Amino acid sequence: MKAMQHRYTDRWRWDEWKWSSHCGNCIANCSYRIYVKDGEPLFEEVAGNAPGAEGVPDMNPLGCQKGAAWLSMRTGGERILYPMRRVGERGSGKWERISWDEALETIADSVIEAVEEQGPNSVLFDNCTEMGICGPAARALLVSRLGAATLDGNATVADVHHGHWLTFGNLLGGSTADDVFRAETVIIWQGNPAYTRIPYYHYIPEARYNGAVVITIAPDFSPSSVHADIHIPIEPGSDAAFALAACKHIIDEGLYDADFVKSQTDLPFLVKETDGRFLTGADLERSGKTNRFFVWNPASGGPEQVDPSRLGSPSDPALEGTFEVRLHDGSTVKVSTVFTLLRRRLEELTPEKASEICKVAPDVIRDFARRVATTATKLCNGLGSCKHYHGDLMERSMDLLLALTGNWGKPGRGFWTYIIALLEGEVMGMLKQGRGAVASEKAIATLETVLEQLRATDPSVTDAKAFLQLMRIGSPRASVSPPAFFFYHHCGYGEIWDRAGYGSSPRPCSEYIEEAERSGWWGGLIKPAPDVEPRVLFQTATNILRRTRGGQRELLRHLWPKLKLIVAIDWKMPTAGLMADIVLPAAHEAEKLDLHAPNSHSWERMLSDRAAEPLGEARSDAQIFRAIGIAISKRAAELGKVEYKDSQGALRRWDELAKQFEQVDEDEFEAAIIDEVLRDSSYTGNLPAGFSLQTLRDEGIAIPERLPRPVAAVMASDIEPGKPLVAYRRHVEEMLPYPTHTGRAQFYIDHPWFLEADEALPCHKPPPKAGGDYPLAVTGGHPRWSIHATNTTTAVILETTRGRPTAHINTADAASRGISDGDTVEVFNDVGSYRVMARVSPAVRPGQLILYASWEPYLFEEWKDGTFVEPGMVKWLHFAGGYGHLYYTELQWQPAQSDRVFFVDVRRVVPAS
Ligand SMILES: Nc1nc2c(c(=O)[nH]1)N[C@H]1C(S)=C(S)[C@@H](COP(=O)(O)OP(=O)(O)OC[C@H]3O[C@@H](n4cnc5c(=O)[nH]c(N)nc54)[C@H](O)[C@@H]3O)O[C@H]1N2
Ligand SMILES: Nc1nc2c(c(=O)[nH]1)N[C@H]1C(S)=C(S)[C@@H](COP(=O)(O)OP(=O)(O)OC[C@H]3O[C@@H](n4cnc5c(=O)[nH]c(N)nc54)[C@H](O)[C@@H]3O)O[C@H]1N2
Ligand code: SF4
Ligand SMILES: [Mo]
């Protein structure tokens, strides 16, 4: 008893504390304090310093069980403490400890050789889960100065909301988490916030106490269904049918908000019945513009041009009808409004018909529709819809539902999703040439000039469009590249993507990819080029073999043999590290200074300070990239090399890599990065006046006074201190156009491929039989117990679960195959197989198999994990470009792999012991 008492009181004998936070890729933003004694962290606890807003519960306490266990990962025996070099075959597990100098020299030599033989695009950087801004900032310096390539992280993970992009021309429509409290209906759809938004989940039950009805739409009785008022058990992959039937009911019953639809959307726009294209200025006048659109004016009985600079003008167009219009060549065509085409499309999709597809009772669809139409509805849309092959159709259907019911841009309505919550200093960092205040002023001046030039080109160019346009222009020159082309040209996916029945393309997928490349839609973005061999791969805070769909199966076979050097930078050993050549020890979160990477659940930024010395020879990610840059310059000089040709053929100097890093002392490197971002953010009014790293150290939190300008423009909203942030307000309140092709929330995409696919309007399409004709549909999700694989080897966390990978199967499906809980089963289809423990549960929908995407592959037999059965399809339509808002900018529109609803079967192999 006495000893226990001491253990308790000892805990409080700390001599100082430091601000802290964790992993960037739980996409939460929790502030902790680490208590330190004699230089060693004792424990950490939630800081509870998030501010509150008026009329809603405050955010605190932000935290989760992984956060509570984060420090145990520092000393729990999982760490890599020294640079390691492989001595046996890749994956043989034979390593030797080497010095940092030796590791850096080997890396530098391989990079120099790759650059000289294949060009710098043959050096690839892959990243994802880093803690904050310093590692990524240092990496960006290295990659862009070297001219190497980075795989776009939003597509490698498949968090691209294709459907929302098609509708809104951006991905920034998320309000803050506290706005959920003001909703009357909360829909949890394609996500599982009880697991994945743990610190913010309290707003959902709090909204319920406040009178809201919570609805979860999910095939399984998911953990987020447990606390919902209504669980709608949907057939996997049938969400568009469900949503569109609800839309039809709303239209048929006249429950839609006609004013909202007429002013905010393209539903009143006229489309030519002849070719399915919008009626544009170019149809009506010889010198007319293709980006001017028309509605029908019932008063004049003719088409009237839509004002491109203001929504809702003309103010009372016909929403429905088919009319005759005379074109400039003298011919006459029939035109219909998009709304009329929509009514036609939905004609067959009665709740009864949809019920056959989504297996939800017709009356449940009707009740749901009526509720959404009559209440302030918040759509808590997870990133699950991004991961379905036809996820774009699902999201467009959800968007349509919200549009018909006037459900965004107002308190308690619209989307609660994930957006990277940048500071203005980070945005400026991309534009600045050099450091310091003078460089900031110059960057702002240049930005103003370019924006002015862009706006002058056309009155339809709003600030949002101009900012996005600017990013678009910069994209080919930046180092980031959409990874689908890399998968296609260098990783062997073309064969799978072309398999009959696996996708939905009328012709083989590869024909569309080649057409997209020939059309120049992705000009300058395809890295490495098809004729360049990838040579060096750096992986920081990611696990390419686990994360990539079909990863181990395809990458080990097609990519690995081409790579002369694979470097993993991690603080413990990921499977892709086990298959690497060199592993570099990264500092744990408690061992480095960083500005925590946040998410738009709230826009505050938290500090994470250095509470302890790095263990062993670990270094922060930022320091590692700095050291690599300096080492490359040094080795080039030793080898007598001065210049090299980059992948565009321009000359670059080897010594510039070191120079840019050596401008700041090693000890000050991270502090300088953070301080500059904070000062720039303060300078532009994003953060309070005079805000610096010292302010953040004093206060632990940076509370923005307004959004960064580009974000405010695209989100059509801004921060009002002390109030929840509501996205898309300015569209609704000020009639500011959307950054889409038509300037409206756009439901009709008249790109030729979309017309070919019959997806100009949203519709339901069944998930293709990827994997083969098998009875079980695989879905997944992110686990409660781990941030991806990061915590799957943490002892204390493993003790809270079965401690090994499990796949969840329905009781009846298990019984019919003779499977009992705890048996080892083989999951198989036409592309592969793996073995896993069965977890039998009636909460799983019959016909569904759930594998939470988290486990380290090496925890499975022969390291064969779920990726072995994942086909890893991308949807061909997402290679489309050359149309209005269908263009690439970093993190946005681009193809990404799907992993939800492909097909497998299961057989028992080893009974439970
Ligand atoms: N604890 C924890 N938190 C995390 C993460 C983590 O790894 N661990 N990862 C973070 C990251 S990077 C991301 S991307 C997010 C992801 O988190 P979420 O956005 O919540 O997405 P998922 O976990 O993929 O969603 C899984 C849910 O989708 C539902 N679902 C599956 N198929 C269908 C379907 O066909 N229709 C419908 N309607 N529903 C379906 C299932 O019920 C399942 O529970 O979580 C973030 N937060
Ligand atoms: N089938 C399927 N696949 C999926 C998903 C799915 O739902 N289904 N989800 C996808 C999604 S949304 C995501 S976001 C990805 C996530 O995929 P990844 O980001 O690749 O996730 P992890 O496998 O956890 O790898 C992260 C590694 O970073 C290390 N790490 C943590 N912090 C740091 C740090 O500060 N520095 C360094 N150097 N290392 C650090 C951890 O130890 C861990 O090994 O997975 C994707 N893959
Ligand atoms: S792991 Fe993420 S959600 Fe959990 S406490 Fe840390 S920052 Fe918050
Ligand atoms: Mo993610």
The alpha carbon of 790 and the centre of ligand 2 are apart by a number of angstroms equal to 7
Mutate to test the pocket of ligand 1, among 195, 841, 848 (most ligand atoms within 8 A of CB): 195
The alpha carbon of 285 and the centre of ligand 4 are apart by a number of angstroms equal to 47
The alpha carbon of 804 and the centre of ligand 3 are apart by a number of angstroms equal to 22
Indicate whether residue 789 lines ligand 2 (CB < 6 A): yes
Q: Which of 70, 64, 9, 23 is nearest to 43 (CA)?
A: 70
Summarised one tens digit per residue, pLDDT across range 496-517 is 999 999 999 999 999 999 999 9
The predicted structure's pLDDT at residue 248: 98
Indicate whether residue 592 lines ligand 2 (CB < 6 A): no
Q: Which amino acid is at 873?
A: M
Q: How far apart are CA 560 and CA 555, in angstroms?
A: 6
The predicted structure's pLDDT at residue 9: 78
The answer for 685, left when phi > 0, alpha when psi is -120 to 50, beta otherwise, is left
Per this entry, what is the length of the chain?
913
In eight-state DSSP terms, residue 761 is S
Mutate to test the pocket of ligand 1, among 161, 164, 196 (most ligand atoms within 8 A of CB): 196
Q: Supply the residue whose CA is at minimum distance from atom 25 of ligand 2.
A: 542
Query: Given the CA of residue 787, which atom of ligand 3 is nearest to it?
Result: 1
Strand spans (E) along 695-830: 701-702, 776-779, 806-809, 824-828
**Which of residues 694 and 27 earns the better pLDDT score?**
694
Summarised one tens digit per residue, pLDDT across range 651-666 is 999 999 999 999 999 9
Please report the sign of the dihedral spanned by the C-alpha atoms of residue 338, residue 746, residue 219, residue 830. Answer: positive
Q: How far apart are CA 462 and CA 734, in angstroms?
A: 13
Q: Cβ neighbours of residue 603 under 8 Å, at least 6 residues apart?
A: 176, 421, 704, 707, 719, 725
Strand spans (E) along 128-212: 149-151, 185-189
Q: Is the preceding omega at residue 136 within 30 degrees of 0, hence cis?
A: no
Complete DSSP assignment for 324-383: EEE-TTS-EEEEEEHHHHHHHHHTT--HHHHHHHH---HHHHHHHHHHHHHS-EEEEE-T
Please report the sign of the dihedral spanned by the C-alpha atoms of residue 276, residue 277, residue 282, residue 286. Answer: negative
Strand spans (E) along 179-226: 185-189, 213-217
Mutate to test the pocket of ligand 1, among 192, 198, 201 (most ligand atoms within 8 A of CB): 192
Mutate to test the pocket of ligand 3, among 27, 66, 796, 854 (most ligand atoms within 8 A of CB): 66
Instruction: Note the ligand closest to the C-alpha atom of 189.
Output: 1
Q: Is the pLDDT of residue 10 over 80?
A: no
444-to-82, 141, 167, 449, 678 alpha-carbon distances in Å? 43, 20, 31, 9, 16
Instruction: Note the ligand closest to the C-alpha atom of 68.
Output: 3
The predicted structure's pLDDT at residue 401: 98
The alpha carbon of 534 and the centre of ligand 2 are apart by a number of angstroms equal to 22
Ligand 1: residues within 6 Å at CB? 25-27, 159, 189-193, 195-196, 217-220, 222, 234, 236-237, 239, 382-384, 779, 781-784, 786-788, 900
Query: Given the CA of residue 856, which atom of ligand 2 is nearest to it?
Result: 23
Q: Report the DSSP beta bridge partners of residue 380.
A: 188
Instruction: Note the ligand closest to the C-alpha atom of 131.
Output: 2
The alpha carbon of 547 and the centre of ligand 2 are apart by a number of angstroms equal to 7
698-to-606, 609, 629, 701 alpha-carbon distances in Å? 12, 11, 33, 9
Q: Is the pLDDT of residue 476 over 90?
A: no
Q: Is the pLDDT of residue 263 over 90?
A: yes
| Token output for 733 | 């309140």
The predicted structure's pLDDT at residue 515: 98
For 140-159, what is the mean pLDDT?
95
Mutate to test the pocket of ligand 3, among 19, 20, 22, 788 (most ligand atoms within 8 A of CB): 22
Going by pLDDT thresholds of 50, 70 and 90, the confidence category of residue 69 is very high
Indicate whether residue 851 lines ligand 2 (CB < 6 A): no
The alpha carbon of 398 and the centre of ligand 1 are apart by a number of angstroms equal to 17
Q: Which of 687, 877, 855, 854 is nearest to 765 (CA)?
A: 877
Query: Given the CA of residue 129, which atom of ligand 2 is nearest to it?
Result: 19
The alpha carbon of 63 and the centre of ligand 3 are apart by a number of angstroms equal to 5
Neighbours of 698 (CB within 10 A): 9
Mutate to test the pocket of ligand 3, among 49, 65, 73, 787 (most ligand atoms within 8 A of CB): 787
Q: Cβ neighbours of residue 863 under 8 Å, at least 6 residues apart?
A: 91, 552, 575, 578, 857
Query: Given the CA of residue 238, which atom of ligand 1 is nearest to it?
Result: 35
Q: Which of 362, 364, 383 is nearest to 372 (CA)?
A: 364
Would you report the helix, strand and coil content of the chain in percent, each value rounded to 5?
A: 35, 15, 45
Q: Supply the residue whose CA is at minimum distance from atom 26 of ligand 2.
A: 542
Query: Given the CA of residue 592, which atom of ligand 2 is nearest to it?
Result: 35
Maximum Cα–Cα distance across the chain: 98
Q: Report the DSSP beta bridge partners of residue 807.
A: 838
The predicted structure's pLDDT at residue 746: 98
Is-contact 130 544, C-beta < 8 A? no
Instruction: Note the ligand closest to the C-alpha atom of 66.
Output: 3
Mutate to test the pocket of ligand 1, among 244, 383, 394, 791 (most ligand atoms within 8 A of CB): 383
* Weakest mean pLDDT among 110-119, 263-272, 436-445: 436-445
Q: Supply the residue whose CA is at minimum distance from atom 12 of ligand 2.
A: 157
Indicate whether residue 850 lines ligand 2 (CB < 6 A): no
Q: Which of 175, 148, 48 is nearest to 732 (CA)?
A: 175
pTM of this structure: 0.97
For 284-291, what is the mean pLDDT?
96
In the sheet with 40-46, reading across from the earlier edge strand, the strands are: 16-20, 32-37, 40-46
Q: Supply the residue whose CA is at minimum distance from atom 10 of ligand 2.
A: 157
Q: Which of 563, 543, 585 is nearest to 854 (CA)?
A: 543
For 318-347, what is the mean pLDDT?
98
Indicate whether residue 128 lines ligand 2 (CB < 6 A): yes
Q: Supply the residue whose CA is at minimum distance from atom 47 of ligand 2.
A: 547
The alpha carbon of 475 and the centre of ligand 4 are apart by a number of angstroms equal to 22
Summarised one tens digit per residue, pLDDT across range 736-792 is 999 999 999 999 999 999 999 999 999 999 999 999 999 999 999 999 999 999 999
Indicate whether residue 594 lines ligand 2 (CB < 6 A): no
The alpha carbon of 189 and the centre of ligand 1 are apart by a number of angstroms equal to 9
* Weakest mean pLDDT among 83-97, 400-414, 455-469, 584-598: 455-469
Mutate to test the pocket of ligand 3, among 21, 202, 594 (most ligand atoms within 8 A of CB): 21
The predicted structure's pLDDT at residue 695: 97
Q: Report the DSSP beta bridge partners of residue 576.
A: none
3-state secondary structure of 296: strand
Neighbours of 910 (CB within 10 A): 13
The alpha carbon of 592 and the centre of ligand 4 are apart by a number of angstroms equal to 24
The mean of the pLDDT values for the chain is: 95
* Weakest mean pLDDT among 9-18, 43-52, 753-762: 9-18
Q: Is the pLDDT of residue 6 over 80?
A: no
Q: Is the pLDDT of residue 3 over 60?
A: no
**What's the gap between Cα 830 and its chain centre?**
29
The alpha carbon of 586 and the centre of ligand 1 are apart by a number of angstroms equal to 28
The predicted structure's pLDDT at residue 5: 64
Q: Cβ neighbours of residue 645 under 8 Å, at least 6 residues apart?
A: 119, 651, 652
Ligand 3: residues within 6 Å at CB? 21-23, 26, 28, 30, 62-64, 66-67, 198-199, 787
Q: Which helix (H) or strand (E) holds 271?
A: strand 270-272
Q: Is the pLDDT of residue 2 over 80?
A: no
Query: Given the CA of residue 547, which atom of ligand 2 is nearest to it?
Result: 47
Query: Given the CA of residue 198, which atom of ligand 3 is nearest to it?
Result: 3
The alpha carbon of 632 and the centre of ligand 3 are apart by a number of angstroms equal to 36
